[in-house]
Amino acid sequence: MGTGLIESGENVTAKLKEDEKKMTKFLFAFLVLAGAGVAQAAEPIIIKFSHVVANDTPKGKAAEKFRQLAEKYSGGRVKVELYPNSQLYKDREEMEALQRGAVQMLAPSVSKFGPLGVREFELFDLPYLIPDADTVDRVTDGDIGKSLFAKLESKGLKGLAYWDNGFKQFSANRPLHKPQDFRGLKMRIQSSKVLEAMMRELGALPQVMAFSEVYSALQQKVVDGTENPLSNLYTQKMHEVQSHLTISNHGCLVYAVITNSKFWTGLPADIRAQLEKAMIEATAYERAIAKEENDGALAAVRASGKTEIYVLSDAERKVWKEALLPVQAKFEKVVGKENLDAIHRIAAEVEARNAKKK
Ligand code: SIN
């Protein structure tokens, strides 16, 4: 009996020691996990989102919307840092910075993909090809948009969304009413062979230049004129150094929101899903505000009284369109005839649908 008691006492002691060990292990595991949790909470995933335009533009506002939504949906596990107005990098530099992982997101105009070796995006630069925002959205959301994004993969980039900033207008220090009025003018363009050909077709001298340099180049008369949607023209104060503005709506300005593929695939799946949701909503917002932002910029430019605004009549537009048609033929091979045909078909469908609504 006594022996039994002593034995069971030893058993109890051994058991207690065993329990103590387990508890220590458990506490250790708990502390490690808790520590990891603290580290995770203290170190959110940072997305540096760099772009070249002002905060107060469709792109700037949509980037801010994305920031808010991404931080909200991820419960603070993601922090988006916005760097507008070429604060970090100019056009070309930002593309290189994204490829080497120095920033994680950009929204360049698709006219800037040429130097990367993806010329097919220049489709959107063809003058008077895409007539309205609905067609832009159907093209970018459809097969063409998807196949263009697929071309970015070999460059280490992933396309997340297309944003659009409406239509471009021409400005200069002389009236631009007819194609001949461009003769001899030095016109700033983005790095697109289509835009270069368009300017040459008009008899102008195209000059590729980073967006951040345009205002001072206009001011110092290094170039005579440029083209941009009104939200960009106004927020960069270009109208203050251009005496004439022509509402020509000759081409659209489309943005591709892109990220570094490695960064994107390395994200936890749940975070990626939250960011995708944020991007879908920011895209809807961007497209919804683009027109009113550009209309507002036109009103502000008009109110400033600093530049004379000329609106092309339908007949004048027809003349410009015909004068620029050779550019389409010239780039048919680069951008793909099947893509041009598809865009003509989509534009006709949009027009027919809008006519029915009237
Ligand atoms: C932009 O809207 O991102 C800039 C366009 C330009 O470079 O003209």
Q: What is the mean pLDDT of residues 168-176?
A: 98
Question: Cα separations (Å) of 304 from 99, 240, 267, 310?
Answer: 41, 9, 47, 15
Indicate which CATH number applies to the domain containing 312. Answer: 3.40.190.170
Question: Cα separations (Å) of 147 from 116, 120, 125, 203, 233?
Answer: 16, 10, 17, 34, 31
What confidence score (pLDDT) does residue 21 get? 62
Q: What is the mean pLDDT of residues 184-188?
A: 98
User: Counting every residue, how long is the chain?
Assistant: 358
Confidence at 352, pLDDT banded by 50, 70, 90: very high
pLDDT higher for 14 or 194?
194
pLDDT higher for 71 or 42?
71
CA of 110 to the centre of ligand 1 (A): 9
- 286 within a domain of the structure (yes/no): yes
Tell whether ligand 1 has an atom less than 6 A from the beta carbon of residue 228. yes
pLDDT higher for 41 or 177?
177
Enter the tokens of residue 295: 């209309």
Q: Flag whether pLDDT at 20 surpasses 90.
A: no
Tell whether ligand 1 has an atom less than 6 A from the beta carbon of residue 190. yes
Tell whether ligand 1 has an atom less than 6 A from the beta carbon of residue 109. yes
Tell whether ligand 1 has an atom less than 6 A from the beta carbon of residue 211. yes
Q: Flag whether pLDDT at 338 surpasses 50.
A: yes
What confidence score (pLDDT) does residue 357 get? 87
Total number of domains in the chain:
1
Give CA–CA dist 279/149, Å, rounded. 16
Give the range of the structural domain holding residue 337, as residue numbers without chain letter.
43-357
Residue 217's nearest CA partner among 90, 88, 59 is: 90
What confidence score (pLDDT) does residue 358 get? 81
Contacts of 180 (CB under 8 A, 6+ apart): 203
6-15, 54-63, 85-94: least confidently modelled range: 6-15
- What's the whole-number average pLDDT of the chain? 92
CA-108 nearest atom, ligand 1: 3
- 306 within a domain of the structure (yes/no): yes
- 172 within a domain of the structure (yes/no): yes
φ and ψ at residue 308, rounded to 5 degrees: -85, 130
- 7 within a domain of the structure (yes/no): no
| Residues 335, 267 contacting (CB under 8 angstroms) | no
CA-188 nearest atom, ligand 1: 8
Tell whether ligand 1 has an atom less than 6 A from the beta carbon of residue 275. no
List, for residues 256-284, the tens digit of each pLDDT value: 999 999 999 999 999 999 999 999 999 99
Question: Cα separations (Å) of 303 from 95, 240, 245, 298, 308?
Answer: 36, 12, 14, 9, 11
- 348 within a domain of the structure (yes/no): yes
- 22 within a domain of the structure (yes/no): no
CA of 111 to the centre of ligand 1 (A): 9
41-55, 247-261, 303-317: least confidently modelled range: 41-55
Tell whether ligand 1 has an atom less than 6 A from the beta carbon of residue 232. yes
Nearest CA owner, ligand 1 atom 6: 211
Q: Which of 167, 228, 294 to mutate to test the pocket of ligand 1 (most atoms within 8 A of CB)?
A: 228
Name the β-bridge partners of 309. 245
Strand, helix or coil at 280? helix
One-letter amino acid at 135 equals T
